[in-house]
Amino acid sequence: MAKGAHGSRQAAWEFFGAELKRRRENAGLTQVELGARVFVSGGYIGQFEQAIRKPQLDVAQRIDEVLQTEGFFERLWQKLIKDSPFAAWFQAVVELERLATRISEFAPTIVPGLLQTPEYARAIMLAGNPFATDEYIEEKVRARLDRGRILKDATRPEYWVILHECALRVSVGGPPVMIGQLDHIAKLARERKILIQVLPFTAGAYAAMGKMMKLMEFDDAPPTVYTESELSGNLLDEPAVVKHAWETYDLLRVAALSPEASLALVESAAKDFRRCASST
């Protein structure tokens, strides 16, 4: 997203937090007391007030009920989410990525958003939105690149990604785009900013076949798993569900190549695209 747009949205969330603090204090409630009434921790309320974390819609609605604010926080939440470049069901995932201490992801078909280059992201956006304006496409690309910046921060999460070889071989945007994308992944791996494994075609059938998953861990919250379909996503933190997801991820890790062999395969795929580009 554009820097100015990001700044104005952040300022709006800071206003949300400041109003929450003011109205909570006017009601004579501590963060812990309000948290207990809306079914989150007092620490979460503090993070809402500091605009570090954004509440879910149902939490905003319960805050309105407890503080008797006549739908103020729900309306403000709806306005801020509507102005976001992300789908409403993905907004929470973006916030959690920024708070996670570890992200473990499996991508069966395309390079995950956190790793995408501008050219690769643009090709993906254009494929799904062939009639969109340039302005719309560029806003979506900027938003995706903004997510990826967490891997460059000093406080970046540990990022472990398993890519199916399909994501390395499908020519998204053509050979030049794929060369840049694969070189980017290899660079991050060599700099030890990410740990990558590749599930090769030769592995055959695999756990959770064809289904992406993102597992996130935090210092102050239970782990979550995110899965996605074409028009919706599921963010789940039920212990039994998360446990099953980790078991599935372990099976994928066992079936995948070692990090060293995976990096070699990424570089080999880039070399293949270079040969293709030089022959045309």
Closest CA to 89 of 266, 270, 231, 256: 231
Q: Judge if 131 and 219 occupy the same domain.
A: yes
Q: Judge if 68 and 141 occupy the same domain.
A: no
pLDDT tens per residue across span 237-256: 899 999 999 999 999 999 99
Q: Judge if 57 and 153 occupy the same domain.
A: no
- In sequence order, which residues have a C-beta less than 8 Å from that of residue 87 and are 6 or more positions away? 233
Q: What was the pLDDT predicted at 2?
A: 39
Which residue, 60, 82, 104, sits at the end of a domain? 82
Highest mean pLDDT out of 22-36, 123-137, 253-267: 253-267
Q: What was the pLDDT predicted at 252?
A: 97
pTM of the model: 0.74
Which residue, 46, 65, 82, sits at the end of a domain? 82
**Domain coverage including residue 155:** 88-278
3-state secondary structure of 226: strand
Q: Judge if 30 and 119 occupy the same domain.
A: no
Which residue, 82, 116, 138, sits at the end of a domain? 82
**Positive or negative: CA dihedral 135, 136, 141, 144:** positive
Closest CA to 134 of 145, 143, 122, 144: 122
pLDDT tens per residue across span 204-240: 999 999 899 999 999 878 899 999 877 778 888 899 9
Q: What was the pLDDT predicted at 3?
A: 40
Q: What was the pLDDT predicted at 181?
A: 98
How many Cα atoms occupy the beta-carbon half-sphere of 280 within 13 Å?
9
Give backbone dihedrals phi and psi of 181, rounded to 5 degrees, phi first.
-65, -45
CATH assignment of the domain containing 56: 1.10.260.40
d(CA 20, CA 49): 6
Strand order in the sheet with 195-199: 195-199, 158-164, 102-107, 213-217, 224-228, 233-236
Q: Judge if 206 and 160 occupy the same domain.
A: yes
Q: Judge if 138 and 27 occupy the same domain.
A: no
Residue ranges with strand state E in the chain: 102-107, 158-164, 195-199, 213-217, 224-228, 233-236
pLDDT at residue 49 greater than cutoff 70: yes
CATH assignment of the domain containing 106: 3.30.870
Q: Judge if 227 and 138 occupy the same domain.
A: yes
